[in-house]
Amino acid sequence: MSPMSDDAVDRAQRVLEEGISTDFSKAMSYGAYLDLDTLLAAQHPRSEPQQHDELLFIIQHQVAELWLKLLLHEMHSARALIAADELPPALKRLARVKHVQKQLVEQWDVLATLTPSEYAQIRPFLATSSGFQSHQYRAVEFLLGNKNADMVRVFEHSPHEHAELMRLLGEPTIYDEFLRFLARRGYAVPEAVLERDVTQPYRLDEDLVAVFEAVYASPSEHWGVYETCEELVDIEDLFQQWRFRHLQVVTRTIGHRQGTGGSSGVGFLRKALDLTFFPELYAVRALVE
């Protein structure tokens, strides 16, 4: 058998190019930059004997928390940019938020591969831990407008998390900043909306619906505002998709059993589907002709 030619070797494997770095004794490596030793050592199954599917459950939720961290990073920036009247870069941030949300929605498909009997083998080891206790998820809801001071009590065990949520509870939401932006641009945003208690969940204002009716009646004259409205509707739509997929995965995995954190489970999750962040942006749709 004749030896392979150099050309045949090149086609059979990807030859390491001469300029590729191989010595990382002093240089920065991929693993070092991402701190992979820490990241990949952060999975600590609690089952005894160890159950195969617990790693899936842990990684699923850890990855979700990483996406939530990025969501908060982008949403804080978008809010600050809107407050500074810099709408175009804020829209760029909101567009990225939507792409992250899509990752979170699609991620439920992986957890849905966990059957009821497989989950039953690891559920006892979760004890009282629950996704309901995710402070980052709660921070996202606060930034979008679902304020609820009672929810902060869940985080009293963690002074840092509790302080962060108390701070967000007292700050304007992204929608609040958008409405203040509109007022600065001369739109007739009601004073009651601009001066509302931002620690409370947002409530629909009929006079504000009329403001958005004018925007939707002539999009080309209000393009930046119109585009922002649609970005916010997209974000709420995707958030509701996330909630619904969560509900469906829980339903197929544990049925109507109580949640590990003490909630009613499916019933509690279903109530969240009735919540809305931007009510006027939905109410105006019935008026568009």
Q: Which residues are annotated as a binding site for heme?
A: 246
Which pair of tokens denotes residue 149?
Answer: 């001071």
Residue 146: how many CA atoms within 13 Å on its side-chain side? 15
Match 């599917």 to its residue by tokens.
Answer: 53
Annotated binding site for substrate: 57-61, 119, 123, 260
How far is 133 from 61, CA to CA, in rounded Å?
12
Annotated binding site: 57-61, 119, 123, 246, 260
Could you tell me which residues come within 8 angstroms of residue 286 by beta carbon, excluding any fewer than 6 positions away?
none
How far is 6 from 14, CA to CA, in rounded Å?
12
Instruction: Output 194-200 pairs: Cβ under 8 A, ≥24 positions apart.
Output: 198/147, 198/170, 198/171, 198/172, 198/173, 199/147, 199/149, 199/169, 199/170, 200/147
Neighbours of 135 (CB within 10 A): 20
Neighbours of 157 (CB within 10 A): 9
How far is 131 from 250, CA to CA, in rounded Å?
12
287 and 209 Cβ atoms separated by less than 8 Å: yes
Three state DSSP letters for 80-138:
HHHHCCCHHHHHHHHHHHHHHHHHHHHHHHHHCCCCHHHHHHHHHHHCCCCHHHCHHHH
227 and 91 Cβ atoms separated by less than 8 Å: yes
